[in-house]
């Protein structure tokens, strides 16, 4: 049986309360994304969920995507309760042929698309020498093919507007290979997404900026499912990190916000590590 796991298929983790407190009860927001429409894949949990809350608080109309209806409804409900705008689309991103339903929903609800954040991911610990072709293909469908297809679908919209943002969640596993990073399909797919991000940036500028975010060890459900919450792996990661802690989903959301605004207007084709200076 496949060991590959998408972020939303792991056990429930307590992340919504933290995100709500951070983004809806603290701080001052300047509406940096006012009236922008943002698609965020994998936004019913973890980093995507935190980003959906932050983007909404900054004025964006958010298209939440995922596979879990209850979580999707919860994220949308929280955003609307706090005065934001959001809708949701349920889709398993291994179904590449139907990713157009995400774009269709965005256009139906809001009429345009300004930001595409390809955040959803599938993790696989299976070594390359043991992985089945089915599992390999599923990892690539979620981590590479769906981001590519979504980019292809939003590019004409953004080009017509004369401006657009595409952000891809890659990983430190997209820089090199280590046993702690995962199996061959995961590491290879993240290298591929790094390359795709750079290729798109070269092809789509100057109207569309494309950047990648490469998280290190971030406290999410997917991470906890494979590493445990108090395992030797976690302790080693913390000890080897200059910041001496795991990252938070909110750390990734903050980077995504920066890349989605004009504050990063001269930055494209870059991969931004958010890993606490892991050694």
Residue 199 in domain: yes
DSSP structural state of residue 117: E
Neighbours of 240 (CB within 10 A): 15
Mean pLDDT (the chain) is 90
CATH number of the domain within which 196 lies = 3.40.50.720
Residue 137 in domain: yes
Q: Give the C-alpha separation, 91 to 28, whole Å.
A: 34
What does 216-249 look like in DSSP terms, one character per residue? -SB--HHHHHHH-SS-HHHHHHHHTBTTSS-B-H
Residue 279 in domain: no
Say whether 117 is catalytic: no
Position 12 confidence tier, pLDDT thresholds 50, 70, 90: very low
Domain hosting 110: range is 5-274
**Count of structural domains within the chain:** 1
What's the pLDDT score for residue 126?
96
Position 13 confidence tier, pLDDT thresholds 50, 70, 90: very low
pTM check: above 0.85: yes
Q: Give the C-alpha separation, 72 to 179, whole Å.
A: 33
| Catalytic choice (117, 123, 186, 266) | 186
How large a percentage of the chain has pLDDT more than 70?
87
Residue 263 in domain: yes
**Residue 17 scores a pLDDT above 70:** no
Q: What is the pLDDT of residues 47-71, one digit of tens each?
A: 999 999 999 999 999 999 999 999 9
Q: Which of 45-54, 90-99, 221-230, 234-243 shows the lowest mean pLDDT across its residues?
A: 221-230
């Amino acid at each position: 049986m496949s060991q590959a796991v998408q972020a939303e298929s792991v056990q429930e983790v307590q992340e919504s309360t933290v995100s709500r407190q951070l983004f809806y009860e603290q701080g001052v927001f300047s509406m940096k994304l006012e009236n922008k429409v943002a698609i965020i894949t994998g936004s019913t949990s973890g980093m995507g969920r935190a980003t959906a809350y932050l983007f909404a608080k900054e004025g964006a109309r958010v298209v939440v995507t995922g596979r879990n209806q209850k979580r999707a409804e919860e994220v949308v409900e929280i955003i609307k309760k706090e005065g934001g705008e959001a809708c949701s689309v349920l889709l398993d991103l291994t179904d590449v042929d139907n990713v157009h339903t995400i774009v269709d929903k965005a256009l139906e609800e809001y009429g345009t698309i300004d930001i595409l954040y390809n955040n959803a991911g599938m993790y696989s610990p299976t070594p390359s020498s043991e992985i089945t072709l089915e599992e390999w293909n599923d990892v690539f469908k979620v981590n590479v093919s769906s981001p590519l297809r979504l980019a292809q679908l939003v590019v004409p919209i953004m080009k017509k507007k004369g401006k657009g943002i595409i952000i891809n969640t890659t990983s430190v596993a997209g820089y090199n290979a280590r046993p702690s990073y995962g199996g061959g399909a995961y590491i290879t797919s993240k290298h591929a997404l790094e390359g795709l991000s750079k290729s798109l940036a070269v092809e789509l500028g100057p109207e569309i900026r494309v950047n990648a975010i490469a998280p290190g060890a971030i406290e999410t459900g997917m991470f906890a499912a494979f590493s445990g919450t108090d395992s030797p792996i976690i302790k080693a990661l913390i000890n080897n990190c200059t910041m001496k802690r795991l990252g938070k989903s909110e750390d990734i959301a903050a980077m995504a916000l920066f890349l989605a605004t004009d504050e990063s207007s001269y930055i494209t084709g870059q991969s931004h590590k958010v890993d606490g200076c892991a050694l």
